[in-house]
Every structure is written in structure tokens, then in C-alpha cells.
Structure 1
């Protein structure tokens, strides 16, 4: 049996990064090393342990069974060291760090957050919102809620609620809109970063898209706010506009009379680790419950919609 004293800690840190990302190149980028240095460290660790930790091919590296077992325990050990250093520094429990798409944060998450804080007063939450993806490699964030399907990565991803795009406007304007053709007489608010826009909605309803839109925004939250102020009709997600629909500041004049555009707009992304932040599972379970999503990622609202 190999003594722990013969295992240099830097080799284990390199192994953890390579095992978590399933990539020597990504591990090298994360640790500011060359890919050859990562490969050398892994090879030396395998020689020291007399075990094969990775299956290598020209296209990928994959943990062996022994490698997966070792990774779980190495991650646990590194987490314990981080907690110990935090306690010595009198930092207390580390915060749960969440990165999120801006409009999801302001339109859906923040209005519901009081319930989570009330149920979990001892969890320290840190939020950051931007359209960029979170960089888990630098240990900056624990979770990320992104708009649009994430680009390929070694991270875990869970599709969130099935969203529906439908025309939204004030109740006063809604009284003037009885058919899709009535939209031609109104200012249409366009969100330019939205995956599906007015053009696609008109085509889905066998209508010619207008050639002009009165207002353009690069955030759904701004487009929804403009509709609340009576500036026109916005094509938006009923999920993001849930608060406005419930309080009556927005209405759905054509819901049920036209084809809505259903799509998965947001995804929960987080690093593939065996041991996460202590509050990770609590927040993840709360989020999925609020979105009526089963723990395995199945969206109950999709079943409701098809029944």
C-alpha cells in the first residue's frame, strides 16, 4: 500500500482537475499549466500508486473505476482542507455563490427569494448576474442559471421549466386585440436577444411578419417593463412575466386562440463534483420545487400541458 507521504499534493490537485473536467487540456487551463505538465503529473501519480487512473484515447480521457473512487475521496479531502482554512481564518461557513441570467434573476428569482431566505436564514447567498457563463474552473461560483442551451462542457446541466411565448400587454390594450391580425395596428416590442422573436411567432401562426417594430431591447426584463408601462405588445415568456400576469399589470389577449411557442429557455448548470457546498442541495431542491420540476429533471408542467 502506498504511503500518503509519497503522494505530492500538487499531483492530487492536478488529478482532481483532470478527473472533474475529463480533460487534460481543461485541467491545464484551470491550473495555469501546460497540457504536457498535466499529463506528466498524472503519469507520475499512476506510477506511484501502481494504478491506472485514466483511459486515454486520441479524442478523450476518461476515469477508470479506480480513478473514479480516488477522485471522490480526493475531492472530499480538498473540501475539508478548504473548510479548515476558512475556520482558522474565522471566516465562518462559505457563501453559496450563484450566477444567473439577468432577466431570470429580476423577473422570476428575486420575487420568490424571500421564501427561501425565510426557510434558510443561516445560508449566506451571493448573487451575480450577467449574460456570460460562470467560470467554475476558478472556483468563483457554485451554480449557474443560463439562458439558452449551454455550450458543450464537462458540467452537469438540468433543463428548467417549459416556457411559452405569447403576446403580452396591459389589460387596456388587451381589450383592443381580439385576433392576431389586430397586432398589426399596435407597437410591437422586440427583445433582440430572445431565441424566438416576433417573426417566428407570426410565421407559426401563418401570418406575414411586420417589417417594422417600434421598440427594441436587449433584456427581457426591460421589454416586459415597457409593456407594463403601456408602450406596446411584447412577445415574452409566461415564466418570466409570471409576477406581472398574477398581479394583473399584464394580460394575454391571444392565449388559447393562437399557437404559442413552447421552448426550454433556461438551464441549471453546475460542476460535476461528488461533494458540493453544504447549501448546494438545499438551494437546488428549492429551485426545482418552485419550478415544479421533478428531482430527475422532468418538468411536471410538460405533463400537465400534454394532458
Structure 2
């Protein structure tokens, strides 16, 4: 291109791969060439740039300072290019990759996905589960559902799904028929929590005026917390969308209702628009709008306050 002085793209790609993977042989395998071809491309790149990128013996090569600097920039640049180009491939064929936290996928998304497949049979969806922060440069998914506890990357577009409500749930089997669970009775039971969100107990307990410093029994996911609460092993503070059907079927009780956690679930995708991605996201937003929300309790006025 006029005005741009760039070395061989093949040399840059060979160097980035070798620097990232640490070995010429691994770079050769990734690029589907021979180790000798990778080595020659890197030597040619060094000649073009007039700098040394690797040093040391052939079987124990190390990056020079200039090589380390260039590798960091190239890995980021190639990642951005790959992330930008990826949606164009998905316009042609292949399944869309949808990432969602595991328990939300099990209790909310999976029961609804067949409706999308009937609505859009030309857009197959492959589901993966993850709670990790959204990163379209390093992860293969096209769409990610997440709880927006932390700022999302500026390179993403997001749509709101629903606000998060949390409440204390308990098994009805722990109480006599028609008996109303009381705060004093519940305070004697073990508190179960998800290792990913242990702070929810303190949030709920503070609003109820209960002790926030209870000893918590941590389980890996909300899925296990819900199972354990159903089995009568304790009480837990969990999001509404994960237990609304259990409450409707009488398998769980939420005697004190649900409160807002201050966070919301969102659906995220890349800045570049893809028609298929947008159809999936629009459907998710509509499904979220059709999902009922709990009634918010009228909170008691604390002593010292006036109505």
C-alpha cells in the first residue's frame, strides 16, 4: 500500500507464531509448513528490519528485547484481525458459538433454545458454558451471555437481558406443613453459597438485618447450591432466574421474596455486525422480556427513620 512500509506478512506471521509457542517446530505445525521454512522466514524478517529477534543456540532460542516487544504487538494485532474477520465466515456457514454461565444455561437458556431452532432453522447454535470475562480476541464464541458485574471491553456491543434479583431459598421439607419459615428458624441452618458469588449472602442478610458474618459452605456452582438446598442441607441466596420454576412447582420456598443485586444479565457480541448474530441476540432479548420478574418486597422502615 502506498505510504506504508511493511515487511513480509509471512515473516511476521512466522515470527509471531514461533514467539508465542516457544518453538519453531510448533510454529511450523500451526502454520502447516516445515520448521526450516519458519526459520528462513524469520531470518528474512530480521534482515528486512535490521534487528535480531531471537538469540541463543538453535535448540534453546530466546527472544531478544526487541523481539519480545514486537511479539507482544503482533499477537495483539493478529488477534484483532482474526476477531474482526471471524463474523464474515459465519455469514456463510457453520454454527454460531454461544457462551453462557453454566447454571443459567441449564435453568433458563437450554429449555428455550429449541424455540430458536424452530424460529431460525438456518442458524445452528453450539452452546458452551463459562463464567470467564468476555474476550472475543482469545475465545472462539460469537455471542456471550454474562452477568455484568464488571465493565465489558469497549470492543463489544451489548444488549440488556434482565436485572438480577436474589433471594433466600429453602426446602419446604424442613418445615411442618403450612408452617411459615421465620428468620430465627432459618438462622440456625447452614448457609450454602456458590464459590463464584459468596458475597450474595452478605447482600441479602444486610437488607434483612441478619448477621452478615455467618460461616459459609462453598460449592463450585449455583447448580450444586440449588441441589443441596432442595435436599435440605441448608439455605442459600440465589438468583431468581435460576429457581423460578422450582418455586412455582413448590420444590423450594422463598419466604422473604427477592431483592435487586444491582447487576444485570447482558448479551455481548463484537462491534462488527453479523446478520446471524443479530438475529440470535434479538431472540435472546425477546425471551428475556417474556421472562417474569419477581415482585419486589416492601421493605420495613428501620428504627430512627420516619415515614
Where on the TM-score scale, by shorter chain, does this alignment land: which range?
A: 0.5 to 0.7
CA shift for structure 1 position 106: 1.5
CA shift for structure 1 position 169: 1.8
- Aligned partner of 2:158 in structure 1 is 157
Write the distance in 2 (CA, Å) between the matches of 1:93 and 1:210: 53
Give the direction of change, closer, same or farther, for the CA distance of 1:157–1:149 in structure 2 (3 Å limit): farther
Quick check: 1:182 aligned with 2:181? no
- Aligned partner of 1:288 in structure 2 is 285
Which residue of 184, 199, 204 maps to 1:201?
A: 204
Deviations 1:64-99 (A, max 9, x none): xxxxxxxxxxx79x966x479xxxxxxx72211111
* Matching of residues 124-273 of structure 1 within 5 Å: 124-138=124-138, 140-154=140-154, 155-173=156-174, 176-194=179-197, 196-209=199-212, 211-213=214-216, 215-255=217-257, 260-273=259-272
Deviations 1:31-55 (A, max 9, x none): 349xxxx9xxxxxxxxxxxxxxxxx
- Aligned partner of 1:89 in structure 2 is none
Kept in 2: contact 1:186–1:233 (CA 8 A): yes
Write the distance in 1 (CA, Å) between the matches of 2:213 and 2:167: 16
CA shift for structure 1 position 285: 1.2
Kept in 2: contact 1:177–1:183 (CA 8 A): no
When Rg is computed on C-alpha atoms for both structures, the one with the higher figure is: 2
Between 231-240 and 243-252, report the one with greater CA deviation.
243-252
Across the aligned residues of Structure 1 and Structure 2, the Cα RMSD in angstroms comes to 4.0
Give the secondary-structure state (helix, strand or coil) at the position aligned to 2:103.
helix
Deviations 1:170-189 (A, max 9, x none): 23336554332221122221
Kept in 1: contact 2:163–2:260 (CA 8 A): no
Give the secondary-structure state (helix, strand or coil) at the position aligned to 2:111.
helix
Write the distance in 2 (CA, Å) between the matches of 1:289 and 1:226: 32
Write the distance in 2 (CA, Å) between the matches of 1:281 and 1:83: 12
Give the direction of change, closer, same or farther, for the CA distance of 1:152–1:287 in structure 2 (3 Å limit): closer
CA shift for structure 1 position 27: 7.8
When normalised by structure 1's length, the TM-score is 0.62
Kept in 2: contact 1:179–1:254 (CA 8 A): no
CA shift for structure 1 position 193: 1.6
Kept in 2: contact 1:147–1:266 (CA 8 A): yes
Kept in 2: contact 1:99–1:134 (CA 8 A): no
Kept in 2: contact 1:160–1:264 (CA 8 A): no
CA shift for structure 1 position 209: 3.0
Write the distance in 2 (CA, Å) between the matches of 1:186 and 1:125: 42
Give the secondary-structure state (helix, strand or coil) at the position aligned to 2:137.
helix
Give the secondary-structure state (helix, strand or coil) at the position aligned to 1:137.
coil
Write the distance in 1 (CA, Å) between the matches of 2:99 and 2:242: 17
Which residue of 67, 76, 84 maps to 1:30?
A: 76
Write the distance in 1 (CA, Å) between the matches of 2:283 and 2:72: 31
Deviations 1:244-270 (A, max 9, x none): 223332221222xxx734332422221
Write the distance in 1 (CA, Å) between the matches of 2:292 and 2:148: 20
Report the number of matched residues: 231
CA shift for structure 1 position 292: 0.7
Write the distance in 1 (CA, Å) between the matches of 2:73 and 2:241: 37
